[in-house]
Every structure is written in C-alpha cells, then in structure tokens.
A and B are shown apart, each in its own frame.
Chain A
Amino acid sequence: MLTIAIFLPLAGALGIALLPKRQEQHARAIATAYSAAVLAVVTYLFIAYDRGDSGYQFVDSTKWFESDLTNFTLNYAVGVDGLSLPLLALTSFLSLVAILISWRVDLRPKEYFAWLLVLETSLMGVFSSLDFVLFFLFWEVELIPMYFLISIWGSGNRVYSAWKYVLYTFFGSAFMITGILTLGFTAGTFDVRELAQIGEIEGAVIPAWAIFSLIIIAFLIKLPIVPFHTWLPDAHTDAPTAVSVILAGVLLKMGGYGILRMSFSIMPDVAKDADVLLAAVAATGIIYGAVMTLVQTDLKRLIAYSSVSHMGYVLLGASSIGLVGMTGAATQLVTHGLLTGMLFVLVGMVYDRAHTRDIGQLSGLAQRMPFITVMMLVAGLGSLGLPALAGFAAEVTVFLGTFERHEALTILGVIGVAFAAGYILWTIQRVFWGEATERWADLTDATAWWERGPLLALTLAIVSIGVYPAWIMDLLRDGVSPIAERLA
C-alpha cells in the first residue's frame, strides 16, 4: 500500500510523458487525478494506522542488492511511523495544492506536470525509506525535477538559482554519502531500524562525531541554517509558485526529518554532546533570518527569509534532546509546511495579478481582493504564532521543551516570535491595508475553484491543528518517543 502511494505519482508522470503532443492540455487533469489518488491512499493509511503500535507500519521490504565483496545488503524497505506519516500527509496534500494552483501553466505543460509528479514520488520516498541508502537515492532524485522546474518555468535569474540550489545540495550530499557508507560498512547494515538498535558505533575509521557531522551537514543545509542559507531566497524567488510551495512546504522538512530520524536516532550519544552547538546555531538562524526578513522588499524573498527564521525552531526543538522539544520540532515541520505553503500560494496569486512583488509598489489590495486578504491574514497570523492557528502549538511546545536545557538561547527564540509579528504585520499593513490606488484598480480576487479550494483546505488544516493540536501531535509524539528514549 505504501509502495503504491510512493510510486503512483511516478506512474502518473509516465502517463503524462506518453501523452501525444496535441493532447497536452490534459496533462493537468491527469496530474490532478494522480495526486488526488495519492492523497486518498495516504488518507487511508492515516486512518488505518494503528495508533497503539509505536513501531513502523505498512512496511514493504525486499532484498535489492547484495555484495559478497564487502558483505553488505541493500534493501528496498519502506514503512511509516508517527513521525513520517504526518509528513507523508503533508507531502501529498501540498503536492495536490501545487498542481491545482498551476492550472494556468501553459508553457510545456506536459513536462511541467510530469516533473511535479516525479518530485512528489521522490519526497514520498524520502519520508518513508527505512534504508539509509534508499533514503539517499530519493534525496538525490529530488534534485532533477527541481532543477528543471526552476530553470525552465522560473522567473528572474532562474538558471543561476537552479544551479545554486543543485550545487548546494550536492555539497551536502557528498558529505552525507560518505557518512552513510562509513556508518553502514562499520555497522554491517544500512537498515535504519537496525542501525538505531546498535546505539554506539564502534570501530569506524573515523570517530563517531565525524560521521555524525558528515551526515548532519546535508540536513542542516537543507533546513537551512545560517550561513548555508543563501540558496533558499534565490531558489524561492525565481521558482514558479507551485515549486516555491513544495520547496518551502516539503523540501525544507527533509532536513528536519533527517536530523530526527537519522542523525539523532542512529547516533544519540554524539547528538547529546552537540546539543549546545545545535541550539546556538538554531538561535542564530532565528534572529538572523528574522532581521533579514524585516528588510526585504520582495514579497517572495520576504517569506523565504522568514522560513530561515522559522526552521530555526525545528533545530531549537531538536536541540532540547527531549520528548517535548523534539515533538515541537516535528510539529513545526508540519505547521510551517502548511503556513508557508499557503503564504507562497497567496504571494503567487498576487504576483500573477499585479506582475510585481515589490512591497513598495503594492498598496490597498484588501479592497481589490478581499478573499485573498482574509486568507493572507490567516496564514500570516499563523506564521507569527497566533494561538488557535497551527504555528503556535508547535512553537510553544518547542519553547516549553527547550527552556530547561538552553535557557538563554530559548529566550532568543521567543524574541524571534516578536520579530515575526513585526515583519508579517508590517507587510500586511503596507501591501493590503491602506488606500486603494488607481494603479491596482483592475486586480481581481481569487474566484476559481482551483484557487479557493486549496486555500480553504489549508485554512481548515491550520485552524484544526491550532485549536486542537493533539490530533496530529499525539501521532508525532509517538513517532518521536522512541528517538527520545534512545537519547535519554
């Protein structure tokens, strides 16, 4: 079942690729159908998931490759637990959103939708791999669709941004594969479940902290942390809207997921020693990102930098090395995905209509596009951590879990929330409030079903997590608790 969910988008991509050129307008319908089917399967998994059982479920496992030479086995092994299931749900949900809001894409639509589906498969694969090498393969496959999507359908300096994104990830990946192979050969397995049981890695050619560093560096770049963050604003700004949504909503989460699933659960002892360093990096990112966000003048760059700040909370929560903080971090992965995904959808809609993202030129949009404005308020207020919307539940849990271990650094994190209020409200004040100028008299509100539907669905998810977070956080807690136990 899980395997179907992972490869269904790929099947869709093949189907679209085989579509005759003159029927290419059907690509979007096929893409919608396939990604809706994935969402349906994941929803089924969500319901069928046994919440009483904390192990991996829906496991599919076969031997894939065996080598006598160095005595190792590669498995195709996938499965989900409480940590990965919500992220799979997020991936399939945002993929459908991304496809819907691309309804009007008419530049080479066949390839566009096919690449989006390939991207979805790679992301689903990352979140469900139980084999470290398989995880790495999915991690790398993601680059190909991203490169083409940004460099062909992007805007501005798109080729530069696409390359920058790819090279940055390469840089991290080179370290990661070295770490993975060292780890795997030393332990004699690449299976994540078995690796996690070993506890301490002994007898490797390099010290454990070096393996840990090699692997986590790739995750930290992806998250991203300062100073490895500059790929993000460029990639975001130049990517087409749908890709920004996936990038902010799902791709960054791979980093946070990797830290918890791989780095922390496989090498708990090193993680414990690195906690202060990680917390310091997190707090730096939160404040640095927030200050950078304040001075942005391009709407997309603004939200991109706010992601740098907000993903800092993931690392901060992780650095608590405790159940509460790490559950908060995992929740932040989901809530930030929803909130920032929604912000990018909205900014994309504004850009499509106004053909500018320059904050200085926009004004009084509330009177031209009331629906988009209300949605912007929901996403923006959620992003600044307003209670009853999703972001608050995650952030307050991070703070509660981390304060005891890192008092001062957590306070920096709390201050970051005040910054968030500043840049979000200031942006809304300048762009949406104020006098409705003649220049924007022709702007229309979002009225189509493929615009309103995704926004309302996102709102529903954001409000429901905000009002009663337990429905998703219980699951994440159960997923995080085995990791927390190993760290205890």
Chain B
Amino acid sequence: MLDPIREGAVWAIMGLPFGSFAIITLVSFLGLSRSGAWNPRFSGYLTVAAMLGAFLLSLWAFDTVVDSDGARAGFDAHKWLHIGPLYVSVGITLDGLSGVMLVVVTGVSLLVQVYSQEYMRGDEGYNRYFAFMSLFSMSMLGLILASSILQLFVFWELVGLCSYLLIGFWFQKDSARKAATKAFLVTRIGDLGFMIGLLIVYTEVGTLDITAIHNAAIAGAIGSSALTWFALGLFAGAAGKSAQFPLHVWLPDAMEGPTPVSALIHAATMVAAGVYLVARFFPVFAESEDALFTVALIGSITALIAALLGIVATDIKRVMAYSTISQLGYMMMGLGVGGLVAAIFHLFTHAFFKALLFLGAGSVNHATGTFDMRKMGGLATFMPITFGTVLVASLSLIGVFPLAGFWSKDEILADAWKDRPWVFFVALTAVFMTALYVGRMLILTFAGEYRGGEEGGHGGADQRHGTPHESPWLMTLPLLILAVMAVVAGFLNLGDWLGKIIEGWVPPETEELVTKSDFSLWIATASVGLGIAGLLVAWAVYQVRILESKAIEAFLQPIPEILENRYYLDALYQSFLVQTVLLGGLGAVVSLWDRYIVDGVVNGVARVTAWTSAQMRIAQAGQAQLYGAVMLVGSVAAVVTVLVAGGS
C-alpha cells in the first residue's frame, strides 16, 4: 500500500530506542536527574515515544514485505571490517520473517513500556530502568535485522547483556544478583556453540553473510559434517537463549527482575531470539536431518519437562516461566518437523498471550504484594479486568478454539503428524499438561477466598498497596489490547496469509523441504478435547477437590519430589559442576600446582641467584648491584658470542 520503506527508516527502527537509551544515559551521567533538571518521568515518556516511533516504522516495514510477499528487500550491506580474506559487513535483512518479528517486538515492547510507566513509578532506578529497556529493545531489533552472522552475534550478546542488567535490576537483593549472573553464564555456555558454529561456517564458506551462507548450504558447498556441526552449534546458542533443556535453568530464576522485564523477556525479546535464529538459518537446518532431529528431540523434551514443573510451582511467575519454556519447546518442535511457518506463527501468537499473562501477574502482585499463589485466591472479584484478560490469555495458551493459540498450536500438531508422528504425541501430551497447570494457576489465584497477600516482597515498585484492587488504567490498557490480540491474532493466518509472508524469503530449494499441512478436524478436536480435559482435572483437584492433591502427591512419590527439586539440575550444575568440579577440584589443583610447583621452582632459582649476587656484592663492595648484574649477564653473553661468531 505504502511506498517501499527506505533503508534509513529501517535503521531508525533500532536507532530510535538506541537514542532514548543514549539520552537517558547521558542525562544520568551529567547528574541532571539528581539536580532536578530532568524529571525521571521524562525517561519513561521518551522511551514510550521512541518505541511508538519504532512501532510505526515497523508497520511500514511490514507493509513493504507484505507487498513483496515476504521476499527480501534489497539493501546493500556496508563494510565494517576488512582484513585480507576477512570481510565483515553490516546490513539489513528485511523480509517476511524479520518483518513479522519487527512488529511483534516493537508492538509488545511498546505495551510493556506503557505498563512500566505505572508499575515502576517511584522506583529509585527509574531512569536506569528505561535506559536498559530501550537498549534491550534496540538489541533485539538489531538481532532481527542483521544481515551477517557476526552482526547477528553482536546483537545476540547485547540482548544477553540487557537481560543480565534487567534481571539484576534490584542488584542489592541476593537472589537477583545471582539470577542475573546465572542467566548470563548459562546462555553464554550456549553461545560457545554459536561462536564455534560461526567459525566452522566461516572456514568452510569464507563469508559471514547470511544469504551467502544459505546459498552455500543449498548448493552443497559445505561438507555435510561441517554443515551439521554448524547447525548444531547455532542450535546450542538458540537453546541457551530460548531456554531449551538442559540450558533452561536460567529462565525460572529470571523472574527476579521487575515483572514488565519478564513480560518482555518471555514474549518479545531474549527467548524469541533462539527460535528466530533457527528460523533464520532454516535453509541450513533443512539440509541436515541430524540437526532437525536434534531440534525436534530437544524441543520435545523441553516441552514435557517444563510443563511438568509448571504443575508443582507455587509462584505465579514461575508457573508462567515454565509455561514459556514449554511453549518454546513447542516452537522448536515445530522447526524440528520442518514447520517453519507453524513455529514462527506460534511465536507470534505466544508473544501476545504470554506478555499478557506476565503483565497480569504483575497486576496481581501490584494488588497483593506477593507472587505466591498460596497467598492469593478470590482475586476475580477484586480485579475484574485483570482476571478477564488473564483468563483470555490462559485459554489462548491452552489452545481453545477460536483463540489465537489454537490456530498456531494446531499447525504445529498437524505438521508434526505429517513429518514425525512421535513428536505429535509428545505435543499432544503437553497440551493436556498445559491445561492442567493453567487451570491450577487460575483457580489458586482468582477463585475461592482471598488468602491475605503479603507485605513488601519483591522490593522496589513491586510493593503492596493495601487491600487488593484493580490496577490503574496505564496498566490495564495494555492488558486489554493484548487480550484483543490474544483472541484475534490467530485469524491472520486463515488461508495461509501470514504464512506466505513468513516464508516468502525462503529459497525455492528449501521451500520444498518446509512441512505444510492442511487443517485437520480430528487433530483440532483431539487437542481442544485434551485441553478441556486438563482444565477439568484441574477443576476437580483444586476447586471441587474430588481428589485431595496431597493424596495424589503421596501416591505419585517420588515424582513430585523430583519435580520440586527441578530434576536436581540446578543442584547438579551449581553444587557439583561449579563448586565441586570446577572450583573445588580443577581450581584447587591448578592453584596448588601454581603455587608450589611452578612458583616453587622459580623461588628455588631465585634463591640461588640471590646467593650468587650476594657473593658479587662482596666482590664489588655492594653498589649498583642492579645495573651491575645487567652488565654482567649482557657482556658475558656478548663476548662469548662475538668470539664464537667472529671465529667462524
């Protein structure tokens, strides 16, 4: 409809939030905020204005890719670094895939920033919060738009940095500082794979340009084992960012940040990056059956184990965190069965209902001062808008017809049935478990009697405000908008409208490998049926209590205990691998070796030298020993060499 977007305008999509970051940082450095010249509220307004601008430009960019049916817009890359054979460029990839992502990221970010205006009001770190949030959005947008894999990696790491800074936003809290470090380190383990993959592909192809890598992969210019390792390396990176087993452990702790940060991390930035990365390199993955199988397998494991954890968690944000992990597993399953469109479509719908769930949790916390569902209950009457919107998001998450989640989940199921039936059964099982934990969460939070909330809690602005009440309009408005999206976003792919755009950039050779399946009534019925069955079980156990949950727990031991200890993975990583093996074992051994063997030898030599120089000092009456020693060593060597060399 509109004219095609120009390159400068695409850069501005990330330039605007960067500008707001830069201005807020500068203002803080100059101390204008402390002196009163800069009202902290300005930081909030500036961030919202920048995101609004970025959102509008993203719509323009999206319009451009719609007009081109998702084909890539031709922008030239620019030289960044050139050392002989190494040519690194920076440029823009604007196609159906990145166009959709742009809209999701800027749209959700905008709503989250609006919500934050109220949620973070009065926090000491108000300026810092909006500076980091701006940088976070900028980094994610930069990642999406990158045209070279190194450029992508740069923003990939910046996304990690911002999540580190925001998870540890309340850095004085012990749990927050630990969660921040954990998030950065665990994702960095995955990034090792990314970096090694990058090195492999550069060595094989000699370029870092993403399209050139795609073409090389399709043309068979990359050896099959190198290609598989490259894909697996990328997937390791994706598994870190997108919280896939066994690197998922950072995400549940990441809720230590302010709740709007969680909404952003879980919906639009950070965790979406991993799925995007695999999708971006889908032409490479499609060439390697081993890589696709790994993606499907890890996705399946992740979807199941996280859903199980969601059933036992008592913290509402933790339930949602496990839900995110599980849903990311779905997306990976989708990619693993070749369902590029289905996976990205699910990422798209998930962004809306998951952002809504987190903002809803923040709203609940705003009212009760706690995230512990055992202290909530009966909030439906106090907070009708929050309840209504969270209910919509929950049903969308379960995949109830005709909400957004239904359509995208159904596509993944149908693709799985066609490509790898075992994945289909895993996905179907996870549907039931999703409904179970969602039902439990809804009942514990909103039904029954109010159980009193808590004083204080998460510090900063996450503070209690008396008796439960509905949140102010700046918080409920984003909820309402997201609720509308959680209902209607699924219709965008009726007739494969959105799907055609999402895969419009895929080369024809790869397109043959993309799994496409038609709507199948029995699959849809099965998934909705299992979803409702899950809700009914939750209702039976937690509401009418036909079965006592304690009795079930006792019957199922030791499973609940394993779940409550999160499969002992955190213990394995922290106590065993880090404390015992790395610090206690390797570190201690190397440290002793360094002190007693390496330095011991040195000190021995030094003692001999000191003795020698003491003798010399006697001979030379002890002056200028330092220079004397230099002269001695040097001239002896010189004389010897001159004689030897001269004689030959």
Smallest distance from the beta carbon of B306 to chain A beta carbons, Å?
A: 24
Pick the residue among A70, A421, A434 that contacts B177 (CB under 8 A): A434
Interface segment, one of B408-416, B468-476, B505-513, B640-648: B640-648
A294 touches B587 (CB 8 A): yes
| Cβ proximity bits B472-507 to A, threshold 8 Å, 1 near / 0 not | 000000000000000000000000000000000000
Interface residues on chain B, number (Cβ under 8 Å): 67
B645 touches A410 (CB 8 A): no
Asked if A468 is at the interface (CB within 8 A of a chain B CB), the reply is yes
B81 touches A473 (CB 8 A): yes
| Cβ proximity bits A460-488 to B, threshold 8 Å, 1 near / 0 not | 00000000111001100100010010000
| Cβ proximity bits A161-191 to B, threshold 8 Å, 1 near / 0 not | 0011011101001100110011001100000
Chief secondary structure at chain A's binding surface: helix
- Within B571-604, the residues touching A (CB, 8 Å) are 582-583, 586-588, 590-591, 594, 598-599, 602
**A168 CA to B602 CA in the complex, in Å?**
9
| Contact A144-B627, Cβ < 8 Å, known A421-B188, A433-B172, A435-B174 | yes
| Contact A364-B172, Cβ < 8 Å, known A174-B633, A177-B634, A429-B180 | yes
Q: B605 to chain A: which residues have CB within 8 Å?
A: 167
Asked if B161 is at the interface (CB within 8 A of a chain A CB), the reply is yes
Q: A186 to chain B: which residues have CB within 8 Å?
A: 645
**A182 CA to B639 CA in the complex, in Å?**
11
Interface segment, one of B103-111, B194-202, B393-401: B194-202
Q: B192 to chain A: which residues have CB within 8 Å?
A: 414-415, 417-418
**A415 CA to B184 CA in the complex, in Å?**
15
Smallest distance from the beta carbon of B362 to chain A beta carbons, Å?
A: 23
Asked if A436 is at the interface (CB within 8 A of a chain B CB), the reply is yes
A396 touches B172 (CB 8 A): no
Asked if A442 is at the interface (CB within 8 A of a chain B CB), the reply is no
Pick the residue among B172, B606, B610, B644 that contacts A435 (CB under 8 A): B172
B80 touches A429 (CB 8 A): no
Smallest distance from the beta carbon of B414 to chain A beta carbons, Å?
A: 39
Q: B642 to chain A: which residues have CB within 8 Å?
A: 70, 181, 185
A147 touches B626 (CB 8 A): yes
Pick the residue among B171, B609, B629 that contacts A433 (CB under 8 A): B171
Interface segment, one of A11-19, A39-47, A344-352, A386-394: A386-394
Q: A410 to chain B: which residues have CB within 8 Å?
A: 199
Asked if A269 is at the interface (CB within 8 A of a chain B CB), the reply is no
| Contact A182-B645, Cβ < 8 Å, known A170-B630, A386-B161 | yes
**A67 CA to B449 CA in the complex, in Å?**
102
A181 touches B641 (CB 8 A): yes
Pick the residue among B83, B85, B626 that contacts A144 (CB under 8 A): B626
**A469 CA to B648 CA in the complex, in Å?**
50
Asked if A383 is at the interface (CB within 8 A of a chain B CB), the reply is no
A399 touches B171 (CB 8 A): no
Interface segment, one of B5-13, B42-50, B149-157: B149-157
- Within A351-379, the residues touching B (CB, 8 Å) are 364, 366-367
Residue of A nearest to B645 (CB): A185
Chief secondary structure at chain B's binding surface: helix
Pick the residue among B157, B599, B610, B638 that contacts A387 (CB under 8 A): B157
Interface segment, one of A22-30, A246-254, A400-408: A400-408
Smallest distance from the beta carbon of A184 to chain B beta carbons, Å?
A: 9
Smallest distance from the beta carbon of B275 to chain A beta carbons, Å?
A: 21
Smallest distance from the beta carbon of A222 to chain B beta carbons, Å?
A: 15
| Contact A164-B606, Cβ < 8 Å, known A387-B153, A421-B188, A434-B172 | yes
Pick the residue among A144, A323, A421 that contacts B185 (CB under 8 A): A421
Smallest distance from the beta carbon of B57 to chain A beta carbons, Å?
A: 22
Asked if A227 is at the interface (CB within 8 A of a chain B CB), the reply is yes
Greatest chain A CB density within 10 A among B86, B153, B591 is at B86
- Within A415-442, the residues touching B (CB, 8 Å) are 415, 417-418, 421-422, 425-426, 429, 432-436
Asked if B451 is at the interface (CB within 8 A of a chain A CB), the reply is no
B84 touches A399 (CB 8 A): no
| Cβ proximity bits A228-249 to B, threshold 8 Å, 1 near / 0 not | 0111000000000000000000
Q: B648 to chain A: which residues have CB within 8 Å?
A: 203, 205
A400 touches B591 (CB 8 A): no
Residue of B nearest to A67 (CB): B642
Pick the residue among B157, B590, B634 that contacts A140 (CB under 8 A): B634
Smallest distance from the beta carbon of A54 to chain B beta carbons, Å?
A: 13
A411 touches B172 (CB 8 A): no
A291 touches B590 (CB 8 A): yes
Q: B599 to chain A: which residues have CB within 8 Å?
A: 230
Residue of A nearest to B597 (CB): A227
A468 touches B80 (CB 8 A): yes
B582 touches A400 (CB 8 A): no
A404 touches B188 (CB 8 A): no
Q: What bracket does the count of chain A residues touching chain B fall in?
A: 35 or more
Smallest distance from the beta carbon of A144 to chain B beta carbons, Å?
A: 7
Pick the residue among B84, B157, B634 that contacts A324 (CB under 8 A): B84
A388 touches B174 (CB 8 A): no
A429 touches B195 (CB 8 A): no
Asked if B418 is at the interface (CB within 8 A of a chain A CB), the reply is no
B171 touches A294 (CB 8 A): no
Asked if A143 is at the interface (CB within 8 A of a chain B CB), the reply is yes
Smallest distance from the beta carbon of A90 to chain B beta carbons, Å?
A: 20
**A411 CA to B644 CA in the complex, in Å?**
45
**A27 CA to B401 CA in the complex, in Å?**
81
B633 touches A170 (CB 8 A): yes
Residue of A nearest to B578 (CB): A422
Asked if A73 is at the interface (CB within 8 A of a chain B CB), the reply is no
**A322 CA to B85 CA in the complex, in Å?**
10
Q: A425 to chain B: which residues have CB within 8 Å?
A: 164, 180-181, 184-185
A295 touches B588 (CB 8 A): yes
**A469 CA to B641 CA in the complex, in Å?**
44
Asked if B637 is at the interface (CB within 8 A of a chain A CB), the reply is yes
Smallest distance from the beta carbon of A431 to chain B beta carbons, Å?
A: 11
Greatest chain B CB density within 10 A among A226, A366, A433, A469 is at A433
Asked if A276 is at the interface (CB within 8 A of a chain B CB), the reply is no
Q: B634 to chain A: which residues have CB within 8 Å?
A: 140, 173-174, 177
Asked if A292 is at the interface (CB within 8 A of a chain B CB), the reply is yes
Asked if A335 is at the interface (CB within 8 A of a chain B CB), the reply is no
A388 touches B158 (CB 8 A): yes
Asked if A127 is at the interface (CB within 8 A of a chain B CB), the reply is no
Q: A231 to chain B: which residues have CB within 8 Å?
A: 602
Asked if B121 is at the interface (CB within 8 A of a chain A CB), the reply is no
**A399 CA to B203 CA in the complex, in Å?**
10
Asked if B189 is at the interface (CB within 8 A of a chain A CB), the reply is yes
B641 touches A178 (CB 8 A): yes
Q: A3 to chain B: which residues have CB within 8 Å?
A: none
**A103 CA to B86 CA in the complex, in Å?**
44
**A36 CA to B488 CA in the complex, in Å?**
65
**A227 CA to B605 CA in the complex, in Å?**
14
A164 touches B591 (CB 8 A): no
Asked if B283 is at the interface (CB within 8 A of a chain A CB), the reply is no
Q: B646 to chain A: which residues have CB within 8 Å?
A: 69-70, 185
A469 touches B81 (CB 8 A): yes
Q: A444 to chain B: which residues have CB within 8 Å?
A: none
**A415 CA to B189 CA in the complex, in Å?**
9
**A163 CA to B612 CA in the complex, in Å?**
14
**A71 CA to B648 CA in the complex, in Å?**
14
The 9 lowest CB-CB distance pairs between A and B, nearest first, are: A387-B154, A433-B177, A185-B645, A295-B587, A433-B171, A323-B84, A403-B199, A181-B641, A230-B599
- Chain B residues close to A by CB (< 8 Å): 79-86, 150, 153-155, 157-158, 161, 164, 168, 171-172, 174, 176-178, 180-181, 184-185, 188-189, 191-192, 195-196, 199-200, 202-203, 582-583, 586-588, 590-591, 594, 598-599, 602, 605-606, 609-610, 626-627, 629-630, 633-634, 637-638, 640-642, 644-646, 648
A-B contact pairs, 22 of them (CB 8 A): A144-B626, A168-B602, A170-B630, A170-B633, A174-B637, A181-B637, A181-B638, A322-B84, A381-B161, A387-B155, A399-B195, A400-B199, A403-B200, A414-B196, A418-B191, A418-B192, A433-B168, A433-B180, A435-B172, A468-B80, A470-B80, A477-B83
